Amino acid sequence: MIRFISFEGGDGSGKSTQLELLAGYLSRQGISCLSTREPGGTNLGKMLRKVLLELRDEPISPETELFLYLADRAQHVQEVIEPAMAAGKLVLCDRFTDSTLAYQGYGRGVDLDALSRMNAIASRGVVPDLTFLLDCPVEVGLSRTQTRSSSHASRAAAKGKAEDRFEREGALFHEQVRRGFLELAQADLARIVVIDAARSIASIQQEIVMIVEQKLATRHSAK
């Protein structure tokens, strides 16, 4: 049964766009779904997101960053994800446990085994049934984030918002994150589907919809 789909990928991969497109498609098919994200899927999470992504001048240690993300996830799973699944909704989540392993593990250098154990606690054992990893070369993703930041510069300035902490990281950090995501995908081929995110939005959406339709058809035929 497919009840929980996560979208993963580096900065500028287009995962948020594809989640929104899939949510719209599922709604048109009469399938009840819930779109959410990490960090920021709860009221507490919104405050944590502001600290994690927008804190500009105050450095955050890798361990502090990690525990803030885990706190966000623990609240998110208990308050949003588990109740939605229990109500029969298909949950679509922008980032989940794989992002912690890729960013804080491969990117920041936190021990992967320790991260996996802490992930299991914070997620209450919840694992996505299907994960789309939107993968593209780092230079492509960073170019997209720069273009996005430039196009919204005046609006962001008006709100006093800067680019997020990870967008300010160098290319080497993002290469490590990308390698982490791809290694995670290779280790869990049954769950994680790697999508070539360097293509057009429409072609990516078509592939994702096809895969989800196949999964849903399998679910219905098994009933």
Task: Record the tokens describing residue 74, joined without a space.
Answer: 């623990």
pTM to 2 decimals?
0.90
CA distance 124 to 129: 15
> Domains along the chain?
4-222 (3.40.50.300)
| Predicted confidence band of residue 167 (pLDDT cuts 50, 70, 90) | confident
| CA distance readout (Å), 214 to 127, 129, 207, 218 | 20, 13, 11, 6
How confident is the model over 127-150, as pLDDT tens digits? 999 999 999 999 998 888 877 655
Question: What is the side-by-side strand order in the sheet with 130-135?
Answer: 33-37, 90-94, 4-9, 130-135, 192-196
How confident is the model over 179-207, as pLDDT tens digits? 999 999 999 999 999 999 999 999 999 99
